[in-house]
Amino acid sequence: MMESDPPFQKVYKALLHKSQPKENEEEEFKRDNNKKPASCTDLCDLPVIDLSCLGCGSDERAVCKKEIIDASMEWGFFQVRNHGISQELLERIWREQERLFRQPFEKKANQKLSSFSEGSYRWGAPAASSLHQFSWSEAFHIPLVTIDGLKTEEFSNLRSTIEELAAVVSDLAQRLAAILAENLGGKSDYFVENCSSSTCYLRLNRYPPCPILSGVYGLMPHTDSDFLTILYQDQVGGLQLLKDGRWITVNPNPQHLIVNIGDLFQAWSNGAYKSIQHKVMTNPHVERFSVAYFMCPSYDTMIESSIQPSIYRKFSFKEYRQQVQEDVRTTGYKVGLDRFLI
């Protein structure tokens, strides 16, 4: 264990002692999440879409758009290549976040990295009462509106890299959202109007090596509460998604970006686009890094289906976030969109 690692085993000793979940815990988890039992994992490649085709002739452009739409409906996840974000920039953010996470744990946990807003550093799961609610990971949650606050010389390179990455990944998210919106007859500028740099955020993730060989997640199963997530991950792997009752292990490719549909887009599309449950598995020997961009609206933005009759009632993003937080606090789990079904 490095000085920078969170003290998982010390703080969560009692919880981790139950490294093999009891049968009743498994059944409770499945019941609370309204999921049928998921079988063992398969290794597969997600659909890979070449975005350079969006700049080609009308026929190739139409095929590319259809691939994006089909993957969003069938998988809720897909990979993109030739996405317009340079490999040099992606490797630079990886180096900068590695340097950030190498800071002493006490410095990170006690908010002594003065460039970051209070509460930006997160690790473990303070409210966890079972292994299903626990994540062996640490992260910096960075609202893009706070980037200007990263002013110290120590993190000047991190600030400039985040600014550069945020600009290009925001543009990519807007282009993808517009394609998905137009397919359903919605206004493509809805996302320009409601999802700006003042409402979206980046999350820098690190998954330290985990000596507990079973029962511990790097990131517990969940769906994302945004419109779109764009993920850059390294070559280590560990991301899994639930498809047709089976956990699918995503074959990592650092040359590609992963895109997934969030809860808000599922509601906005009246269930046409799927927000899929996913998780990260731990690795006993190797740490893993990833960077996620979350395309979110303002808290006051109303989410209403573009297709009628709607299966979801109209709600604000603020109401949705508050309901998710309340469910996690009282039950230990995120219920999500099921709370908003008509």
Which DSSP letter does residue 288 get? E
- One-letter amino acid at 283 equals N
Is the distance from CB of 207 to CB of 283 less than 8 angstroms?
yes
Contacting residues for 105 by C-beta, under 8 A, at least 6 apart: 3, 4, 5, 6, 7
Contacting residues for 178 by C-beta, under 8 A, at least 6 apart: 188, 189, 191
Which helix (H) or strand (E) covers residue 295, if one does?
strand 288-295
Q: How far apart are CA 138 and CA 136, in angstroms?
A: 7
User: Nearest to residue 128, comparing CAs of 329, 323, 336, 280?
Assistant: 329
Backbone torsions φ then ψ of 38, nearest 5 degrees: -95, 135
Between helix 58-74 and helix 156-183 the angle, nearest 10°, is 100
Which one from 288, 313, 321, 329 is the annotated catalytic residue?
Answer: 288
Q: How far apart are CA 218 and CA 321, in angstroms?
A: 23
Q: How far apart are CA 268 and CA 179, in angstroms?
A: 14
- One-letter amino acid at 330 equals T
How many other C-beta atoms are found inside a 10 Å radius of the C-beta of residue 203?
17
The radius of gyration of the chain from alpha carbons, rounded to an integer in Å, stands at: 20
Q: Is 246 an active-site residue?
A: no
User: Nearest to residue 342, comparing CAs of 262, 244, 270?
Assistant: 270
- Between the alpha carbon of residue 48 and those of residues 68, 295, 340, the distances in Å are 9, 21, 32
User: Nearest to residue 219, comparing CAs of 265, 283, 296, 129?
Assistant: 283
Centroid of chain to Cα 141: 11
Q: Could you list the active site residues?
A: 288
